[in-house]
Amino acid sequence: MSPGLEVSLRAQGQIPLEMDLRCAPGEILALIGPSGSGKTTLLRALAGLYTQVSGQIRCQGRTWLDSQQGLCLKPEQRWVGMVFQQYALFPHLTALQNLTLAMSHLPRQAREPAALAWLERVNLAGLHNRLSSQLSGGQRQRVALARALASKPDLLLLDEPFSAVDQVTRFRLRRELALLRKQIDIPMLLVTHDLDEALQLADRICVLHHGQQLQCADPISLMQHPASPDVARLLGLQNIFSASVVAVGREGLSLDWAGCPIKVSQPSEYAIGDQVTWIAPPQSILLQRPDRPVPGDSENPIAGSITELVLMGPHASVRVLPNHAPELPLSFFIPLHYVERQQLHEGMPVTLSLKAHSLHVF
Amino acid sequence: MDWQALQISLKLAFWTSVLLFPLGIFVGRALAVRQLPFRPLIQSLIFLPLVLPPTVLGYYFLVAIAPDAALGAGWQWLTGRQLAFTFEGLLLVSLVANLPFAIQPVQNSFAAIDPDVRDAARVCGLNFWQALWRVELPLAWPGLLSAFLLTFTHTLGEFGVVLMVGGNLEGETRTLSIAIYDEVQALNMTAAGQMSLLLLTLAFVSLLLVQWKTQRYSDKGHL
């Protein structure tokens, strides 16, 4: 039996699930998806808190659930550490007592020193006697994380752990988790609706929708090669279009996009005449002024005009209508300094260059 | 002051509160936490004594404990005594009449506990009984205290149902509230006043204690 987490779960009814997952020791697997996609239900099923599921769960060599054998361990038998969205600290206990309560695997006299050491590891030394109502949001989150790890779990479950704190604290906590995870050698599942959080922390990301996993991949592969238009849309990617294949060669495909030729450097099994969906991810688009062309950046040139330019902090959201198909706008972000240097404005004619090796055909 | 009546009232209130305490915990928790079938029906039955005239409850109880009824016959077979006009009968009907006071505050307290906190206790390695003892009961404590004190105080002041089921037997079923009624009937207003003042003080102090404890718990951030 391999170490790590192996999950094969099915559930019918109100919250359907169809999941086959693996997570290696020390790996963070992020589960992302819209509300109702089954993220939290999966986490609760793994913890043994939701039992209307069938299938198998094995973790670190132990079987937690085997429906065929009629085996279903109770939550307290699974050795799971879980950080809840609102932390779920025991409000009548101090930070220290919250941890010692979860340390039943240690002899009674060893619990307090170990709990104090954990609080120190999460930068809460000196706050051990405070109740959760006397702690800030970030401090509560740290207590919750320390409590989850103090139980010496075989699996760490993080259910939107940073959603209840302000942005500054969130960035700080993410960094702390990224540092702490190097010392953790158990599988970790992170549920989040924040794609940036998943991209920053996870080794792999699993996109869920209606209780099914659509794609599991490392962050770069996922963003550059989403498995389907649905995955691309769930990842918030824009510029998804239809086209027909007009040529297939060793260097890739040639597409006809509403009368405009598009070259894609992607080996594929497509044939001439196939209708395909293609996507221009943010990193594939270069914007140029026709009167200031950049030598060498002229792949897949598309002439158009800026129809919308919205300044959003250090970036600008740009929408360009191609001349050949104004009904198919391309949207993307560019740095504010580029807008200022190039003196871009709404109505200005521009040329987009789509890098062939960054385009993706489904 | 009718000290014997006071003693019977205190005894009745004590046993009613003590016996209903564990029942209140388990029924109150089940109603707050579990998806029970026929929940509205169970809840309505528990609340019935709150809106029912005590004489109606007393009447049906007398019917149920009559020697030819199942409960009355069963009790007689077990103890050789009948239930009507005895302290045991009084206690039994008092248990029924006080169900809403023993259950409702506990139910509210358990319902106020964040479900994630309950789940967290299990994930932290506590089994059901450990989670109940170490996490849920301490958090539901104000509700438990309210239930105990409300049951105790309400039983002390019980009148209609006591008169219907217990009658007015000195030393057996004559409680303080009946004694007050007797004294008023005999135009002995001084004695009635002393006993009324005692009941008023006990009721007020109980409610004050409940409010004070709940407020303190809330101030500490436990609620």
DSSP secondary structure of chain B: --HHHHHHHHHHHHHHHHHHHHHHHHHHHHHHHS--TTHHHHHHHHHHHHHS-HHHHHHHHHHHTSTTSHHHHHHHHHHSS-STTSHHHHHHHHHHHTHHHHHHHHHHHHHTS-HHHHHHHHHTT--HHHHIIIIIHHHHHHHHHHHHHHHHHHHHT--HHHHHHHTT-TTTT--HHHHHHHHHHTT-HHHHHHHHHHHHHHHHHHHHHHHHHHHHHHHTT--
Tokens at A54, concatenated: 């069938």
pLDDT digit string, tens, across residues B123-173? 999 999 999 999 999 999 889 988 998 899 889 888 888 877 777 777 777
| Distance in angstroms (rounded) separating the CA atoms of residues A149 and A131 | 19
DSSP conformation class of A94 = B
pLDDT digit string, tens, across residues B68-81? 888 888 888 888 88
Say which residue the tokens 């609080």 belong to: A119
Q: Which amino acid is at B54?
A: P
B216 touches chain A (CB under 8 A): no
Helix, coil or strand: residue A337 = helix
Could you tell me if A280 and A243 are in contact, meaning their C-beta atoms sit under 8 angstroms apart?
no
Phi-psi sector, A79: left (phi>0), alpha (psi -120 to 50), beta: left
Residue B213: per-residue pLDDT: 78
Say which residue the tokens 């000196």 belong to: A126
**Residues B169-174: contacts with CB under 8 Å, at least 24 apart:** B169/B85, B170/B4, B171/B4, B171/B8, B172/B8, B172/B85, B172/B86, B172/B87, B173/B8, B173/B85, B173/B86, B173/B87, B173/B89, B173/B90, B174/B2, B174/B4, B174/B5, B174/B8
Helix (H) or strand (E) holding A24: none
Q: Which residues of chain A approach chain B closer than 8 Å at the C-beta?
A: 44, 47-49, 74-76, 79-82, 84-86, 88-92, 101-102, 104-105, 131-134, 147, 151
Computed over its alpha carbons, how large is the radius of gyration of chain A? 25
Q: Which amino acid is at A21?
A: L
Tokens at A171, concatenated: 């960035």
Q: Where are the domains of chain A?
A: 5-231, 238-361
Tokens at A15, concatenated: 């919250």
| Distance in angstroms (rounded) separating the CA atoms of residues A111 and A117 | 10
The two beta strands, A275-279 and A315-322, are unpaired
Tell me which of B124, B136, B213, B216 to substitute to probe the interface with A (most A C-beta atoms closer than 10 Å).
B124
CB contact under 8 A, A49 and B222: no
Residue in A76, A89, A131 closest to B125 by CB: A76
Residues 91-120 in B contacting A (C-alpha not used; CB under 8 Å):
114, 116-117, 119-120
Residue A178: per-residue pLDDT: 86
Report ipTM for this prediction.
Answer: 0.82
CATH number of A5-231: 3.40.50.300
| Distance in angstroms (rounded) separating the CA atoms of residues B216 and B197 | 28
CB contact under 8 A, B117 and A105: no
Cα of A153 to nearest chain B Cα, Å: 9
Tell me the pTM.
0.83
CB contact under 8 A, A75 and B122: yes
**Closest residue, chain B, to A144 (C-alpha):** B120
> Spelled out in words, what is the top-level CATH class assigned to the domain A238-361?
mainly beta
Q: Which fold has domain B3-219?
A: MetI-like fold (1.10.3720)
Whether the predicted pLDDT of B222 surpasses 70: no
Could you tell me if A206 and A174 are in contact, meaning their C-beta atoms sit under 8 angstroms apart?
no
Q: What is the dihedral of CA A200, A202, A206, A210, to 10 degrees?
A: -70
Residue B63: per-residue pLDDT: 87
Angle at the Cα of B57 (from B54 to B60), degrees rounded to 5?
145
**Closest residue, chain A, to B221 (C-alpha):** A133
Helix, coil or strand: residue A345 = coil
Return the closest-CA partner of residue A23 out of A212, A223, A204, A215. A204
CB contact under 8 A, A48 and B122: yes
pLDDT digit string, tens, across residues B1-40? 777 778 888 888 899 999 999 999 999 999 999 888 888 8
* Positions in chain A short of pLDDT 70: 1-2, 295-297
Q: Which residues contact A214 (CB under 8 A, 6 or more apart)?
A: A207, A208, A227, A228, A230, A231, A234
Chain A CB contacts of B123 under 8 Å are: 47, 49, 75-76, 80-82
Return the closest-CA partner of residue A46 out of A58, A34, A62, A29. A58
B122 touches chain A (CB under 8 A): yes
